Amino acid sequence: MTKRITLRDIADDLGVTVSTASLALRGHPRISAETTQKVEQAARRMGYIYNRAAANLRQTRSNLIAVCLADLSNPMFNEFLVHIEDALNRHHRQVFLGIAREDAGLQRQFLKTALEQGVGGILLCPVHGTRADDLSGLMRSDGSGPVVPTVLFSRALEDVPLPQVVNDDLRAGRLAAECLIVRGHHHIVWVGGGQETSTARDRLAGCRAALADAGLPPPCVLHGPTSRRFGHEAVHAVREWPDPPSGMVCFSDLIAFGAITACHDLGLVPGRDLSIVGCDDMEEAGLSFPRLTTVAVDKGSIGRAASHSLLYPPSGGGVTCLPPRLILRETVGPVA
């Protein structure tokens, strides 16, 4: 049987200590770049395989971080993942990824598996409809806190004693509506989002508050899935109304992209015949035709703040809301 190459073999080959070889392979700043390069080259040359399981036994906490996303059909979640992974990699943590597909059962199974694998922490964007009881398996039975450091991001949950990092969605909904109101739009429709997430509830509440403050009637509401198809169908539907709206606030950019396509199908010009505002500022928003006016969610700051709260847990829970900002582009104009 071929002998398994160990850190001792690498250390003896290079004339360094086992501790130096170990720190070099973990990218520790105490070890010079030159020594790190020599150790890495020797490890590859000799066929050394890092024994993560053994390392975890020597550590009090695993370097593996479980990240559970509610869905990936919305590219927004992928953008969050990129920033989270970058932040964790800077601290030499690796991501163990789960996609719950807005299914509470899949979410529950992934979290159970993550704990069984001995992960060092959990970053969770909860699926729609998640309640505090659904996360009871993450908490210690004596009420002293989570089994492992756990942080929620993007979607907030009430009565959950965990750190939470989210966008100020109440402000986002208000900004979207105000963008239309100041340009003379008084007949506004809200499209999408359902009501089973804090994101949807708060954005709609912000939209309603802005209209109320302006002395305008509440928006007409069309609830539906976060998809291009729903945005496309919504525009076709409202154009059949006796008094079609002049402005449309979309729960997300994804819905707004579908609305833009429907305008093209109907011979309408977004920003002239129907003003459309999205929310999220996905990368595609600045590349659509015409370019989409939207409320930008600071996905990078949310991802980094959630990762920091995981690695350096604050005492107790608490919700951190990061401010959004309006990005005015071409799909919003004055009332025709």
What pLDDT shows up at residue 1? 47
pTM here is 0.82
- Residues 244-272: pLDDT tens digits? 999 999 999 999 999 999 999 999 999 99
Please, which contacts does 10-14 make with residues 24 or more away whose CB atoms are closer than 8 Å? 10/39, 10/42, 10/43, 10/46, 10/48, 13/42, 13/46, 14/38, 14/39, 14/42
Give yes or no: residues 34 and 124 share one domain. Answer: no
Give yes or no: residues 159 and 175 share one domain. Answer: no
Instruction: Give the chain's domain count.
Output: 3
Maximum distance among all alpha carbons in the chain?
84
Give yes or no: residues 46 and 116 share one domain. Answer: no
pLDDT category, 57, cuts 50, 70, 90? very low
Selected residue with higher pLDDT from 124 and 43 = 124
Give yes or no: residues 99 and 153 share one domain. Answer: yes
Give yes or no: residues 157 and 305 share one domain. Answer: yes
What pLDDT shows up at residue 59? 52
Give yes or no: residues 307 and 282 share one domain. Answer: no
Is 336 contained in some domain? Answer: no
Is 205 contained in some domain? Answer: yes
Give yes or no: residues 84 and 148 share one domain. Answer: yes
- Rounded CA Rg of the chain: 25
Give yes or no: residues 35 and 138 share one domain. Answer: no
Angstrom distance (rounded) from CA 253 to CA 246: 18
Percent of the chain whose pLDDT exceeds 90: 79
- Residues 175-201: pLDDT tens digits? 999 999 999 999 999 999 878 999 999
Which of 262, 248, 176 shows the shortest CA–CA distance to 219?
248
CATH code for position 217: 3.40.50.2300
Domain encompassing residue 201: 169-297
Please, which contacts does 46-52 make with residues 24 or more away whose CB atoms are closer than 8 Å? 46/5, 46/9, 46/10, 46/13, 47/5, 48/5, 48/6, 48/7, 48/9, 48/10, 49/4, 49/5, 50/25
Residue 294: DSSP 8-state? E
Per-position DSSP letters for 7-63, written without gaps between them: HHHHHHHHT--HHHHHHHHTT-TTS-HHHHHHHHHHHHHHT----HHHHHHHSSS-S
Is 331 contained in some domain? Answer: no
Give yes or no: residues 265 and 179 share one domain. Answer: yes
Give yes or no: residues 140 and 208 share one domain. Answer: no
Is 330 contained in some domain? Answer: no
Average pLDDT over residues 161-187: 97
Which of 167, 118, 184, 113 shows the shortest CA–CA distance to 324?
167
